[in-house]
Amino acid sequence: MHRPLLAGLTTTVLTGASLLALAAPSQAADTTTIYVRQTAAACSDTGPGTLATPFCSINPAVARVEPGQTVDVSQGTYPERVTVGRSGTPEQPITIVASGTATINGPTAGVVVHGQHDIVLQNIRVAKTADGPALDLADASGLTVQGGSFLPADTATAPIVRLAAVSRTTLTQIVVKGAVPTSGISMDAATTGVVVSSATVGGTYKVAEPNVGIRIDGPGNTILNSTVGAFTGAGIAIGPAAADTVVANTQVQSGAGLGIHVRGAARTAITNNYVRDHCGDGIRVDGDATGVSVQNNIMTSNGITTRSYCDPADPPGVEIGLFDAAASSTVVDYNNTYHFSSPSDTAYSWNGTRMSLQAFRLASGQAAHDLDTSYATEAEDSANSAAPGFQATDRAGNARADNPNRPNTGAGPMPWADRGVTEYLGAPRAWVETKLDLGTRTVTADASLSLPGYRPISRYVFDFGDGTVVTSDKPVVSHAYATTGDYTVSVTVSGSDNRTGTAAQGISVLRRTGTIGLLALVNLRYTSATAGRVLTADKATLAGDGQFDLADAGNGRVAVLSRSVGRYLVNSGAILPNSPVVTDEQTFDLVTNADGTISLRWSGRAYVGVNGSAQLVATATAIGTREKFYRVNPADANRTLKAGANGQFVSAESAGAKPLVANRATAGVWERFDVLDLGNGKVALLAQANGKVVCADGTGTKPLIANRTSAGAWETFVLVRNADGTVSLKATINNHYVSAESAGAKPLIANRTAIGPWEKFTVGG
């Protein structure tokens, strides 16, 4: 049985109610983020770029950003050509992210990165650019372009995305579409080490010139898990100098010209792709190409010129064609082809002669394991996993799986791998994660990471261990428990073929005794939690990720639950918010120190402290500065004080460099304070202006000023609640009340023996 905590802790240390009985706090702006808000009334291109006064345009923000900072662009249409003129570092890249539906739009619109490195572009959308590429990268390295879309005007002539002398770069989950007469993505001969993954590259049939989806002219580049289609030239064109190119798990479809064209490049790997519906050849290798591998691909209906987007005057193509000197050194094997009908006598070409699979084998000595078939099941368990460029996962990220009902006719270390872009899976694999809310005794069970089998998952059956069973077609379900206790949550997933998979996870639903923030004494920074990562005392303000529920774990101990993660803290070499259950390893002794701070002793063995990297670890055998934390009730963070003397907000003037004074009509960062609960009605004030503790300087003979790194006798106040709803502060160092002297005209000072209008303050949010 759980034994209640000590009464003193329950009423003071563990209280979840605000000391000031006020509304919940609002979050202050992150100083590592520069904001762009075109629609904000207070936006200014010469301002600070804070959330309160953001930039109106992107370029002024980008011109100011430093390594490790983020430019956050919200919704709006920005008629700019954004030029990134600064570099980040591998450890602290510069990030530019569109957090809303922001579009860079106009005839000169685009994003330019020339001569820079370690830049991250997230969810950037460029539309209707006609002058230059929508994304222009040159002499750059260490770039990551994630998400977003690049859509040129119909009159555009440059490549939509151009890479010149670019290295160590990833383009992932981007959409590139347009009717340009050149390329969707172009990589010049000096570009190397670029990975294009999960991209969608589409053209149209509006241009007469042979345009290309992805043009690769430099060595060592990779195309993975992408979709390319609707180009009049080639879907993917690999130039003579583009040695060691890999094209894998990619769908190349519906082109008026060729699918994948290897134009003399050495050691190209064309592996596990799906190439279909081209007017010309599906895969063509020609010129002086050497060491090319064409394996595990599925080829369907290429070389048919009767489609509406084909020129009927052009000669029909084939599924796979080898030409010139390239024919003698290209490896073709483990492919599936279906050309018009099966069997087909024109699915292959050997130096311009169209022929059947059998004739191609005789002429080339290749394609011993190719299949002339349209049946998808023939792709199962039949790929060569030793082929160059082979990926351990399929296009969707699924690991290779063996179908026990089919013989393994493939080769390599995984002879059960499938051909083409999709790995056929067997029974679904269930996965369940739980998130707890102790305030409502609610658990949210999330089975979203469950993997389907041969059929998509159509049903989720959740058993919450208390007799409640919920059947749903959605992977996320919540349930409120009537009583506290330990339970097992399980989910059974099934597809339309009735194959099932089950996963389970134990949870502990404990009684919440309070909610606090933990402000580390050593650096006056709040502790924050992120799923799967070590707790870190690194935040200047108390936000949602810094709120922790204290729960009765029995025997006088507490369990600590991260409200944002929904998991209990556990010591796994460091303190992480990873555990859904509470055992001895997830319990802490809560110690109240003489100076009003608290400490946590993990499982009765070691005290939790802040190390040199600001991470929380449980290694100390005694309490020192690093093992002490101020407790802050979330409702007492980010508060304002309005003086009754003049109705003005109290400000830590000049970012805390000057004494506190009630002289502001509105509240910004300088006018906000966190109330530190020192127990027994005593508090301290932390100024958000500079992250310092407010002091009754000179034993109270001097004005209040925020200049201390800890709360001692001069920094401790008794909080007095007045009958009219206001509060007053009595400095413990001299037992005098804090006054907005001279009706607020002078700085605050603790010099009054009684409470009058000048000694009353209204606390706000």
* Residues 150, 281 share a domain: no
Distance CA 453, CA 496 (A): 10
CA distance 580 to 570: 10
% of the chain surpassing 70 pLDDT: 95
Amino acid type, 669: V
Please give the Cα distance from 728 to 350 (Å, whole number): 93
CA 240 to chain centre: 38
148 shares a domain with 13: no
Q: For residue 13, is pLDDT > 80?
A: no
What local confidence, expressed as pLDDT, does residue 6 receive? 29
Number of folded domains in the chain? Answer: 5
- Residue 115, domain CATH: 2.160.20.10
pLDDT at res. 58? 98
Contact 638, 672 (CB under 8 A): yes
Instruction: Using the Cα atoms of residue 504, residue 505, residue 508 and residue 509 in order, give the sign of their dihedral.
Output: negative
CATH number of the domain residue 554 falls in: 2.80.10.50
What is the reported pLDDT for 562?
Answer: 98
Supply the Cα-derived Rg of the chain in whole angstroms. Answer: 33
> When comparing pLDDT for 306 and 448, which is higher?
448
* Sign of the CA dihedral running 562, 565, 570, 572: negative
Residues 375 and 451 in one domain: no
* Mean pLDDT value across residues 9-23: 42
Q: How confident is the model at residue 499 (pLDDT cuts 50, 70, 90)?
A: confident
Range of the domain at 749: 639-764
* CATH label of the domain that carries residue 472: 2.60.40.10
Nearest-angstrom CA–CA distance, 640 and 54: 22
* Confidence at residue 154, expressed as pLDDT on a 0 to 100 scale: 85
Cα gap 73→49, rounded to integer Å: 11
Give residue 7's pLDDT band: very low, low, confident or very high (50, 70, 90): very low
Residue 8 has pLDDT above 70, yes or no: no
Phi, psi of 404 (to 5 degrees): -65, -15
Q: Angle 663-666-669 (CA atoms, 0-180°, nearest 5)?
A: 90
pLDDT digits (tens, 9 = 90+) for 92-135: 999 999 988 899 999 999 999 999 999 999 999 999 988 899 99
Q: How far apart are CA 428 and CA 464, in angstroms?
A: 21
How far is the C-alpha of 744 from the C-alpha of 647, rounded, in Å? 9
pLDDT of 14 over the 90 cut: no
Answer whether residue 206 is part of any domain. Answer: no
SS3 assignment, position 235: strand
List, for residues 723-738, the tens digit of each pLDDT value: 999 999 999 999 999 9
* Alpha helices (H) in 557-647, listed in sequence order: none
> Which of 492, 509, 526 finishes a domain?
509
Distance CA 376, CA 399 (A): 18
335's tokens: 């492919």
Both tokens of residue 611? Answer: 């190390």
Task: Give me the pLDDT at residue 19, please.
Answer: 53
- 589-612 pLDDT per residue, tens: 999 999 999 999 999 999 999 999
Rounded Cα distance between 350 and 599, Å, is 78
pLDDT for the residue numbered 20: 54
* Burial (0-12, 13-18, 19+ Cβ within 10 Å), 428: buried
Q: How far apart are CA 333 and CA 357, in angstroms?
A: 11
Q: Is 38 among the domain residues?
A: yes
One-character DSSP codes across 485-549? EEEEEEEEEEETT--EEEEEEEEEE--EEEEEEEEETTTTEEEE--TTS--EEEESS--GGG-EE
Verify that 515 and 504 share a domain, yes or no: no
First to last CA, the chain: 41
11: Cβ contacts below 8 Å, ≥ 6 apart: none
On the question of a cis peptide bond just before residue 343, with omega within 30 degrees of 0, the verdict is yes
Can you tell me the distance from the alpha carbon of 256 to that of 300, in angstroms, rounded to the nearest whole number?
Answer: 15
Q: Are strands 692-696 and 192-197 parallel, antiparallel or unpaired?
A: unpaired
Q: What is the pLDDT of residue 425?
A: 76
Distance of alpha carbon 280 from alpha carbon 233, whole angstroms? 9
Answer with the one of 118, 144, 178 that is the final residue of a domain: 178
Does residue 190 fall inside a structural domain?
no
Assigned domain for 223 exists? no
Same domain, 592 and 719: no
755 and 671 belong to one structural domain: yes
Residue type at position 664: R
- E strand residue ranges, 603-648: 606-610, 616-620, 629-632, 640-643
Which residue has 């060595």 as its token pair? 219
Q: Over the stretch 291-330, which tens digit does the pLDDT of each residue have?
A: 999 999 999 999 998 888 888 888 899 999 999 999 999 9
- Could you tell me if 334 and 369 are in contact, meaning their C-beta atoms sit under 8 angstroms apart? yes
> Does residue 214 sit within a domain?
no
pLDDT for position 1:
33
CB burial string 167-201: b at 16+ within 10 A, e below: bbbbbbbbebbbbbbbbbbbbbebbbebbbbbbbb
Average pLDDT of the residues of the chain: 93
Q: Is 444 exposed, middle or buried (0-12, 13-18, 19+ CB in 10 A)?
A: middle
Of 296, 290, 205, 197, whose CA–CA distance to 255 is shortest?
205
> In this predicted model, what pLDDT tens digit does every residue of 175-229 receive, in sequence order?
999 888 889 999 999 999 999 999 999 988 777 678 999 999 999 999 999 999 9
**Locate tokens 């799906």: which residue?**
274
Q: What is the DSSP letter of 437?
A: E
Task: Note whether 449 and 314 are same-domain residues.
Answer: no
Q: Which of 367, 392, 424 is the last residue of a domain?
A: 424
Q: What is the DSSP string of 570-592?
A: EESSSEEEEESS-SGGG-EEEEE
Please tell me the predicted confidence (pLDDT) of residue 377.
75
Per-residue pLDDT tens digits for 547-562: 999 999 999 999 999 9
Q: Give residue 208's pLDDT.
A: 67
User: How far apart, in whole angstroms, are the C-alpha atoms of residue 485 and residue 255?
Assistant: 61
Residue 116 within any structural domain of the chain: yes
Of 20, 14, 6, 170, whose CA–CA distance to 727 is shortest? 20
pLDDT tens per residue across span 350-393: 999 999 999 999 999 999 999 998 877 789 999 999 999 999 99
Q: Are residues 162 and 50 in the same domain?
A: yes
User: 442 and 414 in one domain?
Assistant: no
* Contact of 474 with 446, CB cutoff 8 Å: no
Number of H helices, E strands in the chain: 3, 65
Query: Residues 525, 646: one domain?
Result: no
What lies within 8 Å, CB to CB, of 440 at 6+ separation is 480
Residue 272 domain flag = yes
Residues 498 and 487 in one domain: yes
Domain contains 455 = yes
Do residue 521 and residue 414 come from a single domain?
A: no
- Nearest residue to 371 (alpha-carbon basis) of 362, 386, 387, 383: 383
C-alpha atoms less than 13 angstroms from C-alpha of 571 in its C-beta half-sphere:
22
Which residue, chain included where needed, has tokens 């100076």? 595
